[in-house]
Homo-oligomer: A and B are copies of this chain.
Amino acid sequence: MSVFAHHTHDYASDPDAALEAADKYFQSAGVRFTPLRRRVFEIILRAGKPIGAYDILERLRDHGKIAAPISVYRVLDFLIEQRFVHRLATINAYMACVTPEDPHAAQFLICQCCGSVTEISDPVIDKAIAEGARAADFQVSYPLVEIMGICAHCAAEGKTAGDCKKS
């Protein structure tokens, strides 16, 4: 039994369910989930892994939509603010939050080999950071934790950081 068993639904692996949930959430929150915003969120969801802003742009265009980078960035800002999307600063990419309806601090495990990213939400890490910041008299707005390394799958194939960084 995984530590993630409490997730009611792994939205990351079920784009349709995630979109439906988003529809409902925004409806009830009185926030406008416009076609463009929905489309961008869908693209991010279906990517199944972190995706760059310009990749999103390209996929929008594949669907006949003419759009400029700024449009994508605006939507990304919106989705991030609404906590439906996370930004990964180290790799300049965006991914869907696995549990948007439950506000939480997230940590990311980024595989240097295959580029896969796993979102975890470890309260111990979160608490340690809150404590550390408090000790330094620092008021946390949001903590960013991006852990670079090798995922279990790649490690099983004998890959190391040295093999992958340069690829």
| Chain A interfacial positions (CB closer than 8 Å to B) | 3, 89-90, 107, 109, 111-112, 118, 120, 122, 124-125, 127-129, 131-133, 135-152, 155, 161
Contacts and interface: CB of A to CB of B under 8 A. Distances in A.
Closest 3 CB pairs of A and B: A137-B152, A122-B132, A128-B128
Nearest to A144: B146
B148 A145 contact: no
Contacts of A89: 89-90, 146
Contacts of A151: 137-139
Given A89-B146, A136-B109, A131 B141 contact: no
Contacts of A90: 89, 144
A53 to B, nearest CB: 15
B137 A131 contact: no
29 contacts: A3-B136, A89-B146, A107-B129, A109-B136, A111-B138, A118-B136, A122-B128, A122-B135, A125-B132, A127-B128, A129-B147, A133-B147, A133-B149, A136-B152, A138-B147, A138-B150, A138-B151, A139-B149, A139-B150, A139-B155, A141-B148, A141-B150, A141-B161, A142-B148, A142-B149, A143-B148, A144-B144, A144-B145, A144-B146
A133 B133 CA distance: 21
B120 A141 contact: no
Contact of A132 (B124, B131, B138, B142): B124
